[in-house]
Structure 1
Amino acid sequence: MKQTRQISDSVRLGLLLAISGGFMDAYSYLFRGKVFANAQTGNLLLLGLNIFEGHWDACIKYLVPIVCFMIGVFLATCIRRSFQSYKKFHWRQFTILIEAIVLFSVAFLPQSMNLLVNSLISLSCGIQIESFKKIHGLGASTTMCVGNLRSATSLLSDYIYTKDKEDLKKGLLYLLIIFFFVMGAVVGNVFIQSMGQYSILICSLLLLVAFLSMFYHPESY
């Protein structure tokens, strides 16, 4: 029973983070100048196109968030190494709390500072993707969908041939993560329409809930 409870909590946390990931991407793209905060592939592509066309001002728009994403990954790694043996808090709680604080500050920055905003969101995404690499024991991302979609398709394809129910369960879990990511983007769009730049506060609140939830079964994370 204990193992089941821990797995359930981990899945709930992962889905909550997936909603947050979709929300952040919708916010940065729809409200902050059409920059992808999560999927740096899009930013790399747009960076390359702008370099080719000689639009150097636009290059900065995409280059800085890419660098900040890398800084976020580096920061999460440093936190893990520094606080992995800390008893009162799990190191992942530190990373979620940092994310929540960063996104809270973003809500009060005007659109004239979109470069800084998108850089901070990319920093948060880098922290999240490095801190939470697994859900229910599966390698999964809560900030982008390509890898999850590939894994879901592969597992469901295996199930067709093997009839192994574990493959089916794993494949459906990946699809569930993708669904919650998309719903995060949908919810983000709704709140953007009504709250504008302050809508990102909802995302900060979601991360705060995730932070607090980890106090109940910290060993499962």
Structure 2
Amino acid sequence: MIKTIQRRLDAILHWNISFVGGFLGGYAILSHAGVFGSAQTGNLMEMASNVRFMEWEELGLRLLAMVIFACGVIASYMLTNYTNLHMRKLAIWVDAAGLGLTALLPDWFSPIAGVYPIFFCSAFQWGVYSGADGFNSATVFITNNFKQSVLGWTQYALTKDKEFKRKAVLYSNTVLMFFLGALLGVTGVAAFGNALGACVGFIPLAVARIFISIGELPVEDETPEETEEEAEEMLEEAKILEKEEKKKI
């Protein structure tokens, strides 16, 4: 089991964090009047409505939400490129802090201001966990993941190319884990309320930290069967790269 986790850690951790991303979204929507704190598309649509109907106070709150989201993007980029911090570990702590702070904010805060911490930690998470197994994949929203999942299965059905199947599996599991995380988020709020419901999100974060710890364990010597399997995977990857190079020519 440990060897399997170590070998597939990139994908397993990505799916785990996608679960967290779904939780953040589901929790924010149910606990804060439908405000989705993990992306800016809905926020921009609401801002257009605010301008049209001259709702300037809410427009200001949403503009600040955009700034906070941008700060999360900038922080993840700067720390990734200009420090030696273990960013995967740090992102887990940032998510935990975001959830904890959201739970502590008073109920009289507006729904938008109440998820400011989630705007930040979602953006930070996205900057750190932006893909797996060579594929770009967000962990805080799901539209492109669903698109790539559908394309992957379609391409595999047409070509029987295992690379397309690998792509389809990665994106399909990302969509599934995001949905399950959102389900846990809304269930946590429904069962325990806004404050304690946020604390439920600490569970998948703890699991992610355990996966990272397992990945840092010393790698044991592989059995002949595992060595053979790894050699086959490397050969398959080499064939894929060869095909891609021929296409470029």
SS of equivalent residue, structure 1 residue 161: helix
Distance in 2 between the 1:106 and 1:8 partners?
33
CA separation in 2, counterparts of 1:67 and 1:77?
15
Q: Contact between 1:101 and 1:204, CA under 8 Å: does it hold in 2?
A: no
Helix, strand or coil for the counterpart of 2:37?
coil
Q: 1:50: how far off? A: 1.4
| Counterpart Cα distance in 2 of 1:24 and 1:142 | 10
8 Å CA contact retained: 2:16, 2:204: yes
Residue by residue, what CA displacement relative to the aligned partner does 1:145-175 show, whole Å, maximum 9, x if unpaired? Answer: 1111121122222222211122023112211
Partner residue, 1:78: 78
**Structure 1 residue corresponding to 2:212, chosen from 196, 211, 214:** 214
Give % identity: 25
Q: Equivalent residues in 2 for 1:158-173 (5 A)?
A: 158-173=155-170
1:151 aligns with 2:169: no
**Does 2:178 align with 1:181?**
yes
> Does structure 1 residue 106 correspond to structure 2 residue 102?
yes
**Are the counterparts in 1 of residues 92 and 209 from structure 2 also a CA contact under 8 Å?**
yes
Q: 5+ residue gaps in structure 2?
A: 218-249
Higher deviation after alignment, 179-188 or 60-69: 60-69
* CA shift for structure 1 position 41: 0.6
Question: What is the rounded CA distance, in whole Å, between the counterparts of 2:55 and 2:114 in structure 1?
Answer: 21
Distance 1:137 1:175 in 2: 15
Q: Aligned AA for 2:137? A: A
Shift of 1:46: 1.1
Q: Partner of 2:200: helix, strand, or coil?
A: helix
Match of 1:21 in 2: 21
Query: Helix, strand or coil: the match of 1:141?
Result: coil
What TM-score do the two structures reach when normalised by structure 2? 0.78
Divergent runs of 4+, >3 A: 2-7
- Residue by residue, what CA displacement relative to the aligned partner does 1:81-118 show, whole Å, maximum 9, x if unpaired? 2333x5xxx23212221221221122122221244331
Cα offset, 1:206, TM superposition: 2.2
Provide the C-alpha distance between the structure 1 equivalents of 2:74 and 2:210, rounded to a whole number of angstroms: 24
Give the AA of the match of 2:171. Y
Residue ranges of structure 1 left out of the alignment (5+ in a row): none
Q: Post-superposition shift, 1:208?
A: 3.4
Aligned to 2:122: 125
Aligned length: 215
- The corresponding residue for 1:6 is 6
**TM-fit CA distance, 1:125:** 0.3
Q: Report the structure number with the largest CA radius of gyration.
A: 2
Whole-angstrom CA distance in 2 between matches of 1:202 and 1:178: 20
TM-score by length of 1: 0.88
